[in-house]
């Protein structure tokens, strides 16, 4: 092992992002790396791994999640797992489970690479979730993809497009369903930039050309609104709300509007301390400017499926220009930015914490199931709620995902393909070996 390789690992283990990994565990990882033969320490994507760990830290990842992300990109260290000082000892099992989930996800990426853009992405998302037993794998997958998309310019055009299509079909929809907006927006914009570069550049140019006038206008709006809220005795934080290129394009497509006709390019966010203050702030906004009747949504009274909560309104502001205003508490804002990732620091409160975690995992599984593929891979609606464990996702020889009930056999699979196939079925081959027709299929079987 080269000294430079060891130095890079040492630097990685000293990053603030991995502060939640116990010092003894970090030291043991460094010692194990130092003992490796030089050849096993080659070809490590150090910069990408560092970016992945930084992204996970922003998502409040726990020790097991960070260690699994580290070991997945340092496969030579996986043989040392049994010798590491795990506290508690059960954490080793959790890390091994996370690594198994990451290995299983590679099957889905391979299947995606062999099909048309966007085709059956919903089936692949369901397959992915059915073979992952610890959903902490999902933030690792999102963080790894984000770090790779950020440097996609270094790849060939074919590689860039393949990576971007995978991001649009799988990762961005999962981030959306989990409510992790800060990851969702960036993944969507990066994928859009590489899949439709001309459209991306045109919208980015239009946003940039109007930025100075828009920011000047929003500053005046913020001053007026802040003064009105202060008069009401409301301690509020008023800020401009960034709009993302892909979301602008989607809005233009959905409403068939030109860039100039979009009013939510001018967007303001109001953050207050509690729910009562949200509604008081809404009253202050509507007393200042006339609301647009069809543009009010109360996601506090009726949260979205991913637990997103805010008040959305649009008003006719100064100079007759329409402004979109979003009102939420600081807690709601943290939830909106991190989604369920805000809950990854679990199991810290003993059995009570574990029960809360189990409820969160059940909720997440139900949430992540409710994926229905719409235009451009967006999550357009919800499927019938059913626990993911009640389904088996098997594959045809061509890699098509077949959704079957738990306990399904090769004969059930044959009848699902076609009645005549079922009638004529006399034997079965699963994963390149002969099995009886009573064999119980498992997710990922082919």
Looking at the 3D structure of the chain, how many domains does it have?
Answer: 3
Rounded (to 5) percent helix, strand, coil in the chain: 60, 10, 30
- Of residues 417 and 260, the one with the higher pLDDT is 417
Q: Which helix (H) or strand (E) holds 327?
A: strand 322-329
Residue 359 has what pLDDT? 46
For residue 430, give the CATH number of its domain. 3.10.20.30
Domain holding 232, by residue range, is 203-339
Residues 123, 211 within the same domain: no
Residues 166, 21 within the same domain: yes
Domain boundary among the residues 169, 195, 221 is at: 195
Quote the tokens at residue 310: 């805010």
Mind giving me the DSSP string for 379-440?
A: B-S-PPP--GGGEEEEE-TT--EEEEETT--HHHHHHHH-HHHHHH---EEETTEEE-TTPP
Q: Are 59 and 344 in contact, with CB atoms under 8 Å apart?
A: yes
pLDDT exceeds cutoff 90 at 44: no
Residue 71 has what pLDDT? 93
* Residue 261 domain-assigned (yes or no): yes
Residue 49 has what pLDDT? 92
119: DSSP letter: T
pLDDT in tens, 255-267: 787 877 676 578 8
Quote the tokens at residue 99: 């690594």
Residues 24, 148 within the same domain: yes
Q: Which helix (H) or strand (E) holds 229?
A: helix 211-231
* Residue 346 domain-assigned (yes or no): no
* Over residues 412-430, mean pLDDT: 83
Residues 310, 422 within the same domain: no
Q: Are 40 and 76 in contact, with CB atoms under 8 Å apart?
A: yes
Q: Are 188 and 247 in contact, with CB atoms under 8 Å apart?
A: yes
pLDDT in tens, 63-110: 999 999 999 999 888 888 888 888 888 888 989 999 988 988 877 777
Residue 3 has what pLDDT? 61
* Residue 286 domain-assigned (yes or no): yes
* Residue 410 domain-assigned (yes or no): yes
For residue 236, give the CATH number of its domain. 3.30.460.10
Q: pTM for this one?
A: 0.68
**Residue located via tokens 């029960």:** 355
pLDDT exceeds cutoff 80 at 391: no
pLDDT exceeds cutoff 90 at 228: yes
Distance (Å, whole) CA 398 – CA 377: 21
* CA separation, residue 199 to residues 168, 192, 248, 286, 393 (Å): 16, 9, 11, 36, 37
Residues 217, 164 within the same domain: no
pLDDT exceeds cutoff 50 at 137: yes
Distance (Å, whole) CA 426 – CA 429: 11
With cut-offs at 50, 70 and 90, classify the pLDDT of residue 351. very low
* Residue 355 domain-assigned (yes or no): no
């Amino acid at each position: 092992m080269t000294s430079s390789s060891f130095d890079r690992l040492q630097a990685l283990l000293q990053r603030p992002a991995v502060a939640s990994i116990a010092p003894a565990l970090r030291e043991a990882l460094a010692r194990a790396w130092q003992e490796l033969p030089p050849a096993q320490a080659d070809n490590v994507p150090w910069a990408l791994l560092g970016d992945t760990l930084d992204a996970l830290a922003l998502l409040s990842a726990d020790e097991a999640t960070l260690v699994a992300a580290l070991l997945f990109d340092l496969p030579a260290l996986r043989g040392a797992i049994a010798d590491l000082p795990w506290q508690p000892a059960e954490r080793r099992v959790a890390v091994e489970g996370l690594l198994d989930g990451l290995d299983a996800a590679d099957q889905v990426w391979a299947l995606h690479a062999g099909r048309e853009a966007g085709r059956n992405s919903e089936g692949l998302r369901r397959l992915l979730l059915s073979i992952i037993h610890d959903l902490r794998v999902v933030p690792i997958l999102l963080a790894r993809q984000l770090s790779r998309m950020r440097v996609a310019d270094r790849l060939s055009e074919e590689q860039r497009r393949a990576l971007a299509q995978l991001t649009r079909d799988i990762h961005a929809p999962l981030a959306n369903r989990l409510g992790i907006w800060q990851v969702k927006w960036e993944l969507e914009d990066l994928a859009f930039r590489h899949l439709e570069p001309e459209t991306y550049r045109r919208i980015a140019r239009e946003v940039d050309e109007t930025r100075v006038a828009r920011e000047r206008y929003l500053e005046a709006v913020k001053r007026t609104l802040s003064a009105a809220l202060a008069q009401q005795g409301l301690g509020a934080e008023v800020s401009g709300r960034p709009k993302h290129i892909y979301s602008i394009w989607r809005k233009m497509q959905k409403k068939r509007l030109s860039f100039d006709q979009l009013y939510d390019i001018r967007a303001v966010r109001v953050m207050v301390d509690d729910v009562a203050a949200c509604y008081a702030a809404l009253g202050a906004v509507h007393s200042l400017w006339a609301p647009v009747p069809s543009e009010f949504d109360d996601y506090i009274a009726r949260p979205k499926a991913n637990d997103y909560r805010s008040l959305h309104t649009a008003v006719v502001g100064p100079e007759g220009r329409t402004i979109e205003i979003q009102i939420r508490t600081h807690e709601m804002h943290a939830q909106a930015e991190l989604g369920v990732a805000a809950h990854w620091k679990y199991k810290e409160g003993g059995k009570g914490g574990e029960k809360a975690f189990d409820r969160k995992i059940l909720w997440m599984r139900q949430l992540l199931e409710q994926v229905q593929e719409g235009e451009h891979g967006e999550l357009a609606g919800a499927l019938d709620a059913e626990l993911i464990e009640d389904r088996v996702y098997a594959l045809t020889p061509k890699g098509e995902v077949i959704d079957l009930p738990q306990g399904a056999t090769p004969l059930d699979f044959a009848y699902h393909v076609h009645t005549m196939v079922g009638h004529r079925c006399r034997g079965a081959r699963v994963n390149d070996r002969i099995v009886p027709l009573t064999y119980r299929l498992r997710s990922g079987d082919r």
